[in-house]
């Protein structure tokens, strides 16, 4: 049994393709200690000046102190996890605002990353499974894949596997195929964990 942190970020409600994949992965990972954070249903606060002071400066007032406490909670959850499962839909070429905000709250100098000559990553030894859904068809150069690889690498998570449900905009048949092939891939990844 190990600790799994699951992040959902879709804004598509019951029609969400990534949430379907995340739920499938969670089912396959039963028996582990799983924490699920739905960043769309329970959104984090907007990452603004107070939040920046909280996580990168010296929090002084109550608002800043509360934002630091929230960031501490997220970082502690992340540090405790051995495996991350992240739903990462493509919206307007990038990741959802909700997921970007999560990374804004957990990217902490000297806590989750460190600048020396370059960023020295502090969260080594974890695995991440990123479950993507795209309306169209993309190669690995797409911005969701590139950003997720970069931000996870920045904090030391370099063992990252991507699962894609692509062509969601092409209709029900394409969705069915994309879901089936993504679920097969999830089976393979979970079996090899």
Q: Is 153 in the site for ligand FMN (CB under 6 A)?
A: no
Q: Is 93 in the site for ligand FMN (CB under 6 A)?
A: yes
Residue 13 and residue 107: Cα distance in Å, rounded? 27
Among 18, 71, 101, 145, binds ligand FMN (CB under 6 A): 18
What backbone torsions phi and psi does residue 130 show, to the nearest 5 degrees? -110, 120
Q: Is 168 in the site for ligand FMN (CB under 6 A)?
A: yes
Residue 129 and residue 185: Cα distance in Å, rounded? 11
Task: Kindly tell me which of 24 and 113 has the beta carbon lying closer to ligand FMN.
Answer: 24
CA 28-30-35 angle, 5° bins: 110
DSSP of 69-101? HHHHHHHHHHHH-SEEEEEEE-BTTB--HHHHH
Q: Is 178 in the site for ligand FMN (CB under 6 A)?
A: no
Tell me how far, at minimum, the Cβ of 176 lies from ligand FMN, in Å: 13
Q: Is 167 in the site for ligand FMN (CB under 6 A)?
A: no
Read off the tokens for 159. 């063992």
Q: How big is the chain by its Cα radius of gyration, in Å?
A: 17
Task: Kindly tell me which of 109 and 169 has the beta carbon lying closer to ligand FMN.
Answer: 169
Tell me how far, at minimum, the Cβ of 2 lies from ligand FMN, in Å: 26
Read off the tokens for 133. 């859904």
- The residues of the shown chain that bind ligand FMN, judged by CB under 6 A, are 10, 12, 16-19, 89-93, 133-136, 168-169
Positions at the binding site for FMN: 10, 90-93
Positions at the binding site: 10, 90-93
């Amino acid at each position: 049994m190990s600790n799994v942190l699951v992040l959902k970020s879709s804004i598509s409600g019951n029609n969400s393709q990534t949430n379907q994949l995340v739920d499938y992965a969670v089912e396959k990972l039963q028996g582990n200690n799983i924490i699920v954070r739905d960043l769309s249903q329970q959104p984090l606060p907007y990452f603004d000046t107070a939040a920046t002071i909280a996580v990168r400066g010296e929090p002084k007032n109550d608002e800043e102190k509360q934002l630091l406490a929230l960031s501490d909670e997220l970082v502690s959850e992340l540090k405790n996890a051995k495996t991350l499962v992240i739903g990462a839909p493509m919206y307007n070429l990038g990741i959802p605002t909700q997921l970007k905000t999560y990374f804004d709250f957990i990217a902490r100098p000297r806590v989750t990353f460190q600048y020396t000559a370059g960023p020295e990553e502090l969260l080594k030894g974890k695995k991440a499974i990123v479950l993507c859904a795209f309306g169209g068809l993309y190669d690995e150069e797409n911005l969701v894949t590139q950003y997720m690889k970069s931000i996870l690498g920045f904090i030391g998570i370099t063992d990252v596997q991507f699962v894609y449900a692509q062509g969601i905009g092409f209709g029900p048949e394409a969705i069915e195929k994309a879901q089936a092939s993504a679920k097969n891939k999830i089976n393979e990844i979970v079996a090899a964990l």
